[in-house]
Amino acid sequence: MNEKTDIKYLFEPRGVAVIGASENPEKIGYRIVENIVNSGYPGGIYPINPKGGEVLGHRIYRDLSEVEGEVDLAVIAIPAKFVLDAVKECGENGVKHLVIITSGFSEVGKRAEERALVETARKYGMRILGPNIFGIYSAKASLDATFGPGGILPGHVAIITQSGALGIAMIGKTAAESLGLSALVSVGNKSDIDESDLLEYLADDENTTVILLYIEGVKGGERLLSILRRITRAKHVIVIKSGRSKRGAAAAASHTGSLAGADEVFDAVMRQVGVLRAESVQEAFDWARFLADSPLPKRKDAVIITNGGGIGVLATDACEKYGVSLYDDQEALKKAFSSVMPEFGSTKNPVDLTGQATAEDYEKAMDLALKNDQIGSAISLYCETALFDTEAFSQLLSETYAHYRKEKPIVFSLFGGERIERAITKLRKSGIPVFPDVYDAVSCLGALYRSWEYARSPEETIEEVKIDYPAIEGALATARAAGRTFLLAHEAEQVAAALGIPTPQAIVAPDLDAAVAAAERIGYPVVMKVVSKDIIHKSDAGGVALELENQDEVIDAYQAIMRSCRAYNPKAVIQGVEVAEMVRPGVETIIGARQDPSFGPVVMFGLGGIYVEVMKDVSFRAAPLGRRTAYSMIGEIRSYPLLLGVRGEKRKDIDAIADVAVRLGALVHRMRDITDIEINPLVVYDHGEGVKAVDVRILLKGSPGGE
């Protein structure tokens, strides 16, 4: 649903009806009523079933018209063929929101039936959550309207999940992990209410500090990004998205009917708006629990305290991987920790207390670290030794965490045998961030720092760039008038010029004499390309000639191009050739923009030339984008050092690349008829010398690959 509407009563209903309630404990309708009752919901509970009766001390009404109380929310759990009638009944009786548990709609191809539900609901001003879901939990209302296992703990983490089975499993997982929830919502087919609607409510929910999303496909991605961009300034947002692999994407599409979209684009735009993407459900749960309980850091630098050099090195590697910077003032470290350090220990970071360290040594070291204003967070590591009292250390760990948990972020990693495993289980149940693997511990700290750094970064303003839109419209109109969904090379170059992007000097020549004259006018060396609406891939047709140094070579090239192109496509209408200056060498990059099926306009940048498809060294950002975002996109590619200058070469004109990125983003954001614009190569010269768009390709709506 695109328009913003109030879904307050979805999370805070004054009365709940369960359509399909049952006296039979084996039925979903019984389970939902049972969970509502057991969760302590204080509002009206109205089981509905034409058979009547009683369930868990509540009268079963034969239909909604018998109910005298206010019903804001109706949970529908009946066979699919009866759901539309139930929706009408709810509308006629003033229900505000529908939670449709029933499956058998768009996920199995029955899109028309699902549309009928939404159209009927809109007629009565109702909103639909579902269908094909397990329900909703709201801590604010003390309401568990799901058919899950029950026993949800209240807390500060909200979960939105597209997968019903995974969502139900999450209920048990949250209980096992002692993870308290503010909300748990299953969106299923997203026929009406989607993640964006739910996020708008949760953005203002003071009980929610962390939001965890499980997504299989995205609808309305532009709106989703806009909302996430605002939320991540104040709350932590974690996402798990299936469909990284081609096979996984296909499975996700068949599962929910959603388009999974390019995973690289999803990854990039989530980073762009400050969302943390987890690799697994377990990692997401670890992050959620840690972020919900941890204070925000006051500074970056962390210190590692360990009793083993090896695990300390692993922690250092993990810090580099997850972006956790380490405190590195060696003199300050020596001064701070020398009092607890044996002769053969190390005050460097990691601070190595050695294998003879006692619980008391750890206590002193942790106090020194956590009381030091120059240290932002602590990573405490312990390898089991024969001399160490695990029970005493567990007690120390609990006390240290309780004392400092509101002041600085702390993570712990313990490694050893059965005693250690038992200690970890016990400590985790009491809410302490302790892990058997040091990488898991540091991963949590890294997630906190990434979220914190985004939240405190300055908000980006999208500057107005000067673009000649009327000239661009003219070029597009010419193509449309000719019945084309692509621009010819010289038309695409006109668009580039209107965008303010430098291109080689070029002249379209209708015949050989004009081609020779054009070459003389431009100056040698020149390039020649065929001009034909029937020949898109010019190189394949032999329609390109490079480095023509004189008139004779121009004549030979023209004749060769005509022969090759006529052999390639005898029916092709050839308008002539384009003669252009041969640009001097530079770093070849690729830059473009397109209408992404999930997120709308996006910009892409990477290493260009003929190997772009093989190397796939590209990055993406959602458009429109400001210069800071453009620079981050450029700096993200693996080949970025080439632009900084290698082996004595000068730094390249990164500012000019950023300018092109901003302009392309503005273009595809404003002109949605342009489905693709690609410049390959965009030749980049030394700093201050600019760029040249050598080959520009533009596709319009209706073209293969376009919308």
- Listed in order, strand segments (DSSP E) in 147-292 are 154-161, 181-186, 210-215, 236-241, 276-277
Rg (CA), the chain: 31
- 105 SS3 class: coil
* Average of per-residue pLDDT values in the chain: 93
Residue 560 has pLDDT above 70, yes or no: yes
Range from 101-105, 561-565, 642-646 carrying the lowest mean pLDDT: 642-646
Structure tokens at 701: 């709506």
- Burial class of residue 482 (count of CB atoms within 10 Å of its CB; 0-12, 13-18, 19+): exposed
Domains, in order of start, for the chain = 8-291 (3.40.50.261), 294-456 (3.40.50.261), 469-581 (3.30.1490.20), 587-700 (3.30.470.20)
Question: Please, what is the end-to-end C-alpha distance for the chain in angstroms?
Answer: 21
Angstrom CA distances, 586 to 281, 583, 636, 692, stand at: 45, 9, 20, 9
- Burial class of residue 51 (count of CB atoms within 10 Å of its CB; 0-12, 13-18, 19+): exposed
Q: What is the mean pLDDT of residues 148-154?
A: 94
pLDDT tens string 398-426: 999 999 999 999 999 999 999 999 999 99
pLDDT at residue 705, rounded to an integer: 53
* Residue position matching structure tokens 């970071």: 349
pLDDT at residue 385, rounded to an integer: 82
Q: Residue 143 is which amino acid?
A: L
Q: What is the mean pLDDT of residues 562-589?
A: 95
* Residue position matching structure tokens 């919901």: 41
- The C-alpha angle with vertex 569 and arms to 568 and 570, in degrees rounded to 5, equals 115
Name the band, by pLDDT with cuts 50, 70 and 90, for residue 260. Answer: very low
Nearest to 193 by CA among 335, 412, 4, 29: 4
Mention every residue, 6+ apart, whose C-beta is less than 8 A from residue 314: 438, 439
Q: Work out the percent of the chain whose per-residue pLDDT is above 70.
A: 96
- 695 SS3 class: coil
CA atoms within 13 Å, Cβ hemisphere of 235:
24
pLDDT tens string 15-40: 999 999 999 999 999 999 999 999 99
Backbone angles phi, psi at 177, to 5 degrees: -90, 0
Backbone angles phi, psi at 419, to 5 degrees: -60, -40
Backbone angles phi, psi at 104, to 5 degrees: 105, 30
Backbone angles phi, psi at 345, to 5 degrees: -85, -175
Helix (H) or strand (E) holding 302: strand 302-306
Backbone angles phi, psi at 158, to 5 degrees: -105, 135
Structure tokens at 31: 């389970």
Range from 98-107, 137-146, 382-391, 454-463 carrying the lowest mean pLDDT: 382-391
Query: Rounded to 10 degrees, what is the CA torsion of 416, 417, 418, 421?
Result: 30
Q: Would you say 135 and 161 are in contact if contact means Cβ atoms under 8 Å apart? A: no
Residue 387 has pLDDT above 90, yes or no: no
Residue 246 has pLDDT above 90, yes or no: no
- 93 SS3 class: coil
Residue 665 has pLDDT above 50, yes or no: yes
pLDDT at residue 256, rounded to an integer: 36
pLDDT tens string 348-363: 889 988 888 888 888 8
- The C-alpha angle with vertex 232 and arms to 231 and 235, in degrees rounded to 5, equals 80
Q: What is the mean pLDDT of residues 224-229?
A: 97
Name the pairing type of β-strands 302-306 and 351-352. parallel
Name the pairing type of β-strands 154-161 and 210-215. parallel
pLDDT tens string 580-608: 999 999 999 999 999 999 999 999 999 88
H helices of 132-211, in order, are 164-176, 195-203
pLDDT tens string 606-662: 988 766 777 788 999 999 999 999 999 999 999 999 999 988 889 999 999 999 999
Quote the CA–CA distance of 500 and 355 in Å, as a whole number: 65
Q: Work out the percent of the chain whose per-residue pLDDT is above 90.
A: 82
Q: What is the mean pLDDT of residues 462-489?
A: 94
Backbone angles phi, psi at 641, to 5 degrees: -55, -30
pLDDT tens string 431-449: 999 999 999 999 999 999 9
Q: Would you say 44 and 128 are in contact if contact means Cβ atoms under 8 Å apart? A: no
Quote the CA–CA distance of 518 and 521 in Å, as a whole number: 5
Residue 248 has pLDDT above 70, yes or no: no
Q: Residue 402 is which amino acid?
A: A
Structure tokens at 126: 């109702």
Mention every residue, 6+ apart, whose C-beta is less than 8 A from residue 328: 301, 349
Quote the CA–CA distance of 287 and 448 in Å, as a whole number: 8
pLDDT tens string 477-533: 999 999 999 999 899 999 999 999 999 999 999 999 999 999 999 999 999 999 999
| Sheet containing strand 236-241, strands side by side | 143-146, 135-138, 181-186, 154-161, 210-215, 236-241, 276-277
Mention every residue, 6+ apart, whose C-beta is less than 8 A from residue 136: 10, 11, 99, 129, 143, 145, 146, 183, 184, 185, 186
Residue 325 has pLDDT above 70, yes or no: yes
pLDDT at residue 588, rounded to an integer: 94
Residue 237 has pLDDT above 50, yes or no: yes
Name the band, by pLDDT with cuts 50, 70 and 90, for residue 265. Answer: very high
Name the pairing type of β-strands 696-700 and 154-161. unpaired
- 576 SS3 class: strand
pLDDT at residue 334, rounded to an integer: 86
Quote the CA–CA distance of 597 and 611 in Å, as a whole number: 25
CA atoms within 13 Å, Cβ hemisphere of 276:
34
Mention every residue, 6+ apart, whose C-beta is less than 8 A from residue 509: 515, 517, 518, 576, 577, 578, 579
Residue 340 has pLDDT above 90, yes or no: no
pLDDT at residue 252, rounded to an integer: 47
Quote the CA–CA distance of 430 and 447 in Å, as a whole number: 22
Nearest to 556 by CA among 570, 566, 546: 546
Quote the CA–CA distance of 435 and 425 in Å, as a whole number: 9
Structure tokens at 494: 């006109």
Please state at what angle helix 512-522 crosses helix 551-568, rounded to 10 degrees.
Answer: 130
- 122 SS3 class: helix
DSSP state of 243: -
